[in-house]
Structure 1
Amino acid sequence: MKAVTLARGTIAAAVGALALATGMHAWPQARSCMDRAPSTSQGADFVTVAALQSLAVVSITVVGAGNERAFAGAMPPSARGGQGAGRGFASGFIFQRDGYILTSAHAVTGAQTISVATADQRRFDAELVGLDRRTDVALLRISASNLPVVTVVRRSELCPGERVAAIGAPFGFEHSLTAGVVSANPRYVAGGNAVPLIQMDVTLNPGSSGGPLFDEQGNVVGMNSMIYSATGGYSGLSFSLPIDIAMRVAQELRATGRVTRSHIGARTQPLTSELAPAFGLEAALGALVVRVDADSPAEMAGLRSGDVVLAVGDAAAMPYAEVQERVASASSGSRLNLRVWRHRAPLTVQVRVAPDAPDVAPKLVARAETGEVRFGLELAERKGVSGIGLLAPGLYVQAVSGSAQRAGLRDGDALLAVNDVQVAGLRDFDAAIRSVADSDTVALLIARGSTRSYVPILPRVFGRTTLTP
């Protein structure tokens, strides 16, 4: 789950066609919402939704290089000169029976390996088909068939007050459901690349990223993306990407592995009802230019800060989102006629459209199938008596990689047992794992501070079936 920090006012996301510079604006759909037939329910009962739709919700574990921990909830990288890597959690949902899964791009950025756990407790290594940082969408694929899928409704006209529910794995707690109401739709968040979002009061936490947002009928209407917070924790403001946008991006990622857009090099924000009078306009329509990139098509066309792009082509004044979409979807190399408002007078500016550089999904690191020594653990024995500020005698993790890293072990963990066999040193540990096969699951008893818990080391050969196009 990506957090927008109030103190810094930033979001880690890529710049789009006309990037939003400031403001957090909504365009209420008051008329269409008033015409909406009232719900017959007195409050949504999401029990059936959870029982049916959660079968298609997956939990995602990501091991990354440690240099792009954009998602919250990740363990810190190893302190040994970057030898270790962070481990984090996210959510996702299956939307096609042949193994295609949607999740958040920020949750898998920088990943070395991605594993997916389905509702029936099967685990798979996932292929990263493609990602798009602008909309924060990533497409994964696992080698499976006849999977349960969510029901998707391609609608973005959710009204404030409608009840919605999210299912995901906050802090790794799988298939957790939280519910609330839509607060505003669409909402444009500062630094959010002019992407319309569904604002709600549904509780999201680290690990919720990429999970589905359901309406009262159990249809997926959004993909949970981020919160807005002064502390990094949930404070009542959460955001979901409308599902029609997510599905459109997913289709392009599946077809080509990347999303192709255009830009003109102008950074804009919505022209609000508060700002419109300052520019001599009555209607809060159009895109207000706040910056023009050097050597960009916008600069060459003469656009400048303070211009209001009212419309693209001969159309009437457009809402901000429509101006954005017209530019982003224009063919690279084509020319657009922009209706511009400057110094309280209209003019037309012709601008050439340039291609955006698409996000390219990195190749994931293939996990070792055989020959892994001690599950990827580098261990050291500590002998002698314990004392104040000293570690107790025993077997400790010095560095971690491979299967142990994916399981969440980290430097400084004390290793106490293998399955039900106590271990006090390397000789005990090696004797305990001597008969372990790559197809076996092994439980390691770990002490981390004052906490003890068994951690499963999963079979080193699961999910390795080769994916075919």
Structure 2
Amino acid sequence: MKYWCKFLCIGLYLVVFASVICQAQRKEKEVVYRDYTHMEADLLDSLKQDDVKMLFKGVQALRQQAQQVKENSPVCLEPRPAEKKKLRSQDMIEKRRGSVLTVNKYHRAMRHPEGVKGWATAVVLSEDGICVSNYHVFWEFLDPTAKLNPQDSIMFVATEEGRVYPITEILSFNKSADMSFFKIDTRGDVLTPMPLGNDLPAGTSVHLLSHPEGYPYAYTNGVVMRTITSDAKDPFARRMELTVDYAKGSSGGPIMDDCGNMVSMVSSICTIFYSNQPPYNQQMNVKLTIPVSSFRRLIQNKDK
């Protein structure tokens, strides 16, 4: 009888334990609904904090610094190595969203009230704040013929939680590859860099987490449709064309493989029309991205 009581107690304990585990698993899988409608207003409030104001340099100062940067300058960092374990899409989003930043502009009050405008996407490459985005995101600072918008006051990045980081300097760029490396002031935070993978052939599945205008942290996926070059002699002219969906604001967003490694970066869109005269009848959008091999050409490992 004693043995039966023991077995019964053990059985009841296992049932209770299994129930607790199941409840914990169900809780982990609960869908989180985020309110992004106040993101830009919250960022504006963050910029007005006294301990934050003093960290930022204006667009004129950033432009003066950027004008001193030479194209293809080496960027000293130790990239996060590629991971080999495949991730479910939902796990990839959670693991990589901390490495994906919004690029924003603060507009001073002129003809319109002051405000913050989401501009593009950037990816964290090092714990101390080296990031990458597109050349065209920073072209106003890098092109000596460009004119700054008089309403623009500062340019900065932010996390999904609203933590703002000043852009302190442009480190390097390549116009042909439409990429630009820059440094941010992490304000003492240790950031989570995105692991870098390798270029992918046509037919390979890919994933994107970016910020189409008005839709921050949107996930889409697709496949590599072609790998092309516009100049066989220029390795920076290579592109990976994708079926992944994105729009303005996604510029600089990370294209990832099934393991969540960054394999390319959003650059531009080429639209195919049935006719070059009205009615145009849009038929297809081809998405052009910058392969990760272009990044690696400018990255110089710290230990070298």
TM-score calculated relative to the size of structure 2: 0.55
The alpha-carbon distance between structure 1 residues 193 and 149, as it changes in their structure 2 partners (threshold 3 A), is closer
Relative distance call for 1:238 and 1:178 in structure 2 (3 A) is same
Gaps of 5+ in 2: 1-70, 72-85, 142-152, 274-281
Name 1:125's counterpart in structure 2: 166
Which residue type is aligned with residue 227 of structure 1? I
Deviations 1:325-382 (A, max 9, x none): xxxxxxxxxxxxxxxxxxxxxxxxxxxxxxxxxxxxxxxxxxxxxxxxxxxxxxxxxx
Cα distance change, pair 138–234 in 1 and its aligned pair in 2 (3 A):
farther
Q: Deviations over 1:10-64 (max 9, x none)?
A: xxxxxx9xxxxxxxxxxxxxxxxxxxxxxxx9xx842111110111100001369
Counterparts in 2 of 1:54 and 1:193: CA distance versus 1, 3 Å: same
User: Which of 188, 209, 218 is the equivalent residue of 2:251?
Assistant: 209
Match of 2:184 in 1: 142
1:92 corresponds to which residue? 122
Separation in structure 2 between the aligned mates of residue 127 and residue 186 of structure 1, nearest angstrom? 34
Give the counterpart of 2:223 among 181, 188, 193. Answer: 181
> Contact 1:99/1:147 (CA < 8 Å) preserved in 2?
yes
**d(CA) in 1 for partners of 2:251 and 2:298?**
17
The one-letter amino acid of 2:192's match is P
1:292 match: none
How big is each residue's C-alpha offset from its partner over 1:300-323, in whole Å with a ceiling of 9 and x where there is no partner? xxxxxxxxxxxxxxxxxxxxxxxx
More helix by share: 2
Tell me how far 1:209 sits from its aligned partner: 0.5
- Between the aligned partners of 1:200 and 1:105, the Cα distance in structure 2 is 20
How many percent identity over aligned positions? Answer: 21
CA–CA separation in structure 1 for the residues paired with 2:270 and 2:213: 18
In 1, Cα distance between equivalents of 2:123 and 2:213: 17
The code of the aligned residue for 1:127 comes to T
Consecutive unaligned residues of structure 1, counting only runs of 5 or more, are 1-15, 17-40, 65-77, 255-469
1:235, CA displacement in angstroms? 3.7
Aligned position for 1:104: 134
Alignment of 1:190-229 (within 5 A): 195-229=237-271
Task: Work out the CA distance in 2 between the residues paired with 1:85 and 1:189.
Answer: 41
What is the CA distance between 1:97 and its match in structure 2?
Answer: 0.2
* Alpha-carbon distance change, 194 to 215 in structure 1, aligned in 2, over 3 angstroms: closer
Partner of 1:456: none
What's the offset of the Cα at 1:173?
2.1
- 1:52 aligned partner, one-letter code: K
Give the whole-Å Cα distance in 1 for the aligned partners of 2:208 and 2:231: 20
Measured at CA, do residues 219 and 138 of structure 1 come closer, stay the same or move farther in structure 2, by a change above 3 Å? same
1:28 matched residue in structure 2:
none
3-state SS in 2 of match to 1:198: strand
1:150 Cα offset (Å): 0.9
Runs of 4+ in 1 over 3 A off after TM superposition: 84-88, 186-190
**Number of matched pairs:** 194
Cα distance between partner residues in 2 of 1:60 and 1:198 = 23
The residue aligned with 1:49 is 92
How far has the Cα of 1:244 moved from its partner? 2.1
- Trace 1:332-351 onto structure 2 (pairs within 5 A): none
CA distance in 1, matches of 2:294, 2:228: 12
Q: Distance in 1 between matches of 2:300 and 2:243?
A: 29
Query: 1:227: Cα distance to partner?
Result: 0.8
Task: Classify 1:85/1:176 alpha carbon distance in 2 versus 1 (closer, same or farther; 3 Å).
Answer: closer
Any conservation in 2 of the 1:126–1:141 contact (CA below 8 Å)? yes
Distance 1:85 1:197, change over 3 A: farther
Structure 2 partner of 1:237: 286
- Residues 246-268 of structure 1: per-residue CA shift (max 9 Å, x gap): 2333549x9xxxxxxxxxxxxxx
1:54 aligned partner, one-letter code? R
| Shift in Å, 1:215 | 0.5
Cα deviation, residue 219, structure 1 = 0.8
Instruction: Deviation per CA, 1:387-435: give whole Å up to 9, x if none.
Output: xxxxxxxxxxxxxxxxxxxxxxxxxxxxxxxxxxxxxxxxxxxxxxxxx
Where in structure 2 are the equivalents of 1:172-321 lying within 5 Å? 172-188=214-230, 195-229=237-271, 235-251=284-300
Structure 1 counterpart of 2:12: none
RMSD, aligned α-carbons:
3.6
Q: CA 1:234–1:220 in structure 2 vs 1: closer, same or farther (change >3 Å)? A: farther
Measured in 1, the distance between the counterparts of 2:214 and 2:191 equals: 22
Give me the whole-angstrom Cα distance separating, in 2, the residues matched to 1:134 and 1:79: 36
Contact 1:116–1:125 (Cα < 8 Å) also in 2: yes
Task: Return the offset for 1:136.
Answer: 1.0
* 2:228–2:239 CA contact under 8 A, matched in 1: yes
CA contact (8 A) 1:227 1:234 kept: no
Please state how far the C-alpha of 1:201 moved relative to its aligned partner: 0.7
Query: Rg larger in 1 or in 2?
Result: 1
Identify if the C-alpha distance between structure 1 residues 250 and 106 changes in structure 2 by more than 3 Å, giving closer, same or farther: farther
CA distance in 1, matches of 2:236, 2:296: 18
TM-score, with length taken from structure 1: 0.37
